[in-house]
Amino acid sequence: MRRKIVAGNWKMNKDFDEAETLIDDVVKGLEEEEVDCDVVICPPFPYLELATDGAADSELFEVGAQNVSSFDSGAYTGEVSAAMLASLDVNFCIIGHSERRKYFNEDNATLAVKVEKVLANEIVPIYCVGETLEEREANRHFDVIRRQVEEGLFGLDAADFENVVIAYEPVWAIGTGKTATPEQAEEIHAFIRSLVKEKYGDDIANEIHILYGGSCNAKNASALFAQPDIDGGLIGGASLKAEDFVSICRQAK
């Protein structure tokens, strides 16, 4: 049975003191609660070392970055490479979040390069896919998801693909308070798993983790996580409140 993963994406929030407090509060909560999942905290770049120090001290969570450069090194001002992340003991990296696709024009080809960069540095990519409201209403959501998965991930060999986590985030449910119903989310998760099965076979399809990310919160997490193909969550706003985030982690069984 796949062990669930709950990853908190802080996005561009918190100053240093607030970040330190939030990490401390999450650790306290995880110490007090019965949590049986893998927990990942993805803070902004300036707080990665703070987070990895906290992870090393508590051994209760791992750390992820929110983005990575498609370049290895050089004259790329403002960029952060996969090797830099690895040197900070970062274990995961979110790639292709809908906000990166929308605001920074990241396409599947660029994201495929980023996936390769983090895998080469032994970092697990959390590769995000998802459709807009317009695409869903036009009944194109399956085509959109298929293209994102195939173009972003299916260039990998089986050995590398085994180390990928996929996150389905319906764009229409991010930051809107709307959430896909458990049945809607399960339908897409099962579809993604079927694509993996077609490409890589039963064994890898049964092992790959597919997370849900779209206004998942302490109130709806249990119903979402109960679905057979949903292996945890990529949590946005609810990860900024320790009590809510720990509650979600507790429900991931």
Q: Is 44 helix (H, G, I), strand (E, B) or coil?
A: coil
% of the chain at pLDDT higher than 90 = 92
> How would you classify residue 134: left for phi > 0, otherwise alpha for psi between -120 and 50, otherwise beta?
alpha
DSSP annotation of 163 reads T
How deeply is 88 buried, as exposed, middle or buried, from its count of CB atoms within 10 A (0-12, 13-18, 19+)?
middle
Confidence of residue 172 (pLDDT cuts 50, 70, 90): confident
Task: Print burial letters for 45-70: b (CB count within 10 Å at least 16), e (below 16).
Answer: bebbeebbebbeeeebbbbbbbbbbb
Q: What is the mean pLDDT of residues 158-183?
A: 88
**Cα distance between residue 115 and residue 4, in whole Å:** 21
Catalytic pick from 99, 106, 169, 186? 169
Confidence of residue 155 (pLDDT cuts 50, 70, 90): very high
Q: What is the pLDDT of residues 217-250, one digit of tens each?
A: 999 999 999 999 999 999 999 999 999 999 999 9
Residue 173 pLDDT: 78
Q: Catalytic residue at 169?
A: yes
Catalytic pick from 62, 97, 106, 131? 97
Q: Catalytic residue at 97?
A: yes
Q: What is the mean pLDDT of residues 88-105?
A: 96
Is pLDDT above 90 for 215?
no
Confidence of residue 186 (pLDDT cuts 50, 70, 90): very high
* Phi and psi at residue 85, to the nearest 5°: -60, -45
Amino acid at 62: E
CA angle centred on 48, ends 232 and 247, rounded to 5°? 35
**Cα distance between residue 216 and residue 204, in whole Å:** 26
Is pLDDT above 80 for 5?
yes
Q: What is the pLDDT of residues 101-119, one digit of tens each?
A: 999 999 999 999 999 999 9
Residue 142 pLDDT: 97
Count Cβ atoms below 10 Å from residue 109 Cβ, excluding itself: 11
CA distances (Å), origin 59, targets 27, 55, 63: 9, 5, 11
How deeply is 196 buried, as exposed, middle or buried, from its count of CB atoms within 10 A (0-12, 13-18, 19+)?
buried
What are 114's two structure tokens?
């980023």
Q: What is the pLDDT of residues 34-86, one digit of tens each?
A: 899 999 999 999 999 999 999 999 999 999 999 999 999 999 999 999 999 99
Residue 4 pLDDT: 98
Residue 194 pLDDT: 98
DSSP annotation of 10 reads -
Confidence of residue 175 (pLDDT cuts 50, 70, 90): low
- The answer to whether the CB of 94 falls within 8 A of the CB of 9 is yes
Residue 34 pLDDT: 85
